[in-house]
Every structure is written in structure tokens, then in C-alpha cells.
Amino acid sequence: MPTNIEKLAEELYAIVAPYPSPLDCTDLRTSRRGGKHRIVMDHFIGPSFNFTFDFDRVLPFDPAGGKGKTNDVFADAKISLSARHGVPPDTPTKKEVDRYCTLFLRLVLSVLSKEARAGRISSKTLAEMQVSRPRKDQMSAAIRDMVAVNPKHIVDATSAKTLDEFIDNFVAKDSAKIASALRQAQRAKTKVVGKIRKK
């Protein structure tokens, strides 16, 4: 019989694998680091960006919820989101990271709740959670800050002849979000240069 933490890890892995979602991660593992029972999911956006699910208690998972067992994989669990910050322009600031993590955590919780209501996560706690998704424009702005890449600093070691070609043919294959952020950063730069020239 799996524990609640093992069952949640199994269900999260099944959700992550088949289709794109805010839960898409490069790695999912259980850990006892620091004496805590946790699931850690590394996200693709940054080198040190992960979700952490911490459990106060680890109990055998039982769909019937028998004595000394649980039928809720998210009972007594807390989720947090963290990412590295530093000195711009190479890394986002703490303020940018905090804004991004706050918005993205809302997005993740809303998706977890939806998955629980659909029966893909065994959690009444998540199914009953009321979380509104952040607006798309808020997320887009926060993602641009988090990516923290100046298109001018990109060194192209591919066959692409322009930045647009590089983004379309190489970056977009690995991450649509990073490609979108780079395109928006490039457009914003072009608008500013255009305004200056008009003067």
C-alpha cells in the first residue's frame, strides 16, 4: 500500500507526462532532506526553479480512508515555489522572483484543484479549494522578468541567420514560454528604438 506522499507523486507524474500544463517539470522526486517528507518538482523555466510539497504526516493511502490511513493525498501538505534571484541583467531580482512565484503558485493551485475535481488527484482538500487563475497579461509580464535574457546578449551557435529564426527554429522547440518571452522582449526593444528615431 503506497503512502499519501507516494500516491501524490504517482498522480502528479501521470499528469505531468501527457500534456503541457503549469505542472510540466523536468524532474519529480521524493525527498527526506532536512528531516522533512517532501516531493520536489524541478521546472523547466529556470536552473533553480522548483515546487516543493511538504507533508506534516506520512500515512498509508487508502481510498476508503480506514483508521490510521488517509484517502486524501494532500491532507496536511503544503506547497511552495522557489527560484534563484540575483543581480540583473543576468538574473531576476528578488522582487521579480517573488512576483512571479506568487502568480505562478496561484496558477499551479488552480490546476491542481481542477485535476482533483476531475478525479486525477485523490484529494478532497484540493477539489474544494477555490483559487482564481492570474490574468494572462500578469503572467506574461512576470515570465519576461523571470527569463531575464536580453536578446542582444544571445550567442547563436546554430545555423540561424536572424534572432527571429533562432527563436522559431531552436528555442521554441524546447520552451514555448521562453520563446514567447524573447519575442516580446525583442518587440518591446524595437518599439523603443522606433520611438527614439522618430524624435
Per-residue pLDDT reduced to its tens digit, 135-168: 888 888 887 777 655 555 555 556 677 778 878 8
pLDDT at 198: 42
Q: Is 185 within 8 Å of 144 (Cβ atoms)?
A: yes
DSSP string for residues in 89-137 = TTS--HHHHHHHHHHHHHHHHHHHHHHHHTTSS--HHHHT---PPPPHH
Residue 38: how many CA atoms within 13 Å on its side-chain side?
Answer: 18
pLDDT at 55: 93
Which DSSP category does 70 fall into? B
Per-residue pLDDT reduced to its tens digit, 47-70: 467 889 999 989 999 999 889 999
Through-space distance between the first and last CA atoms of the chain, rounded to whole angstroms: 71
pLDDT at 1: 85
Those residues of the chain that have pLDDT short of 70 are: 18-20, 44-48, 88-90, 147-159, 186, 188-199
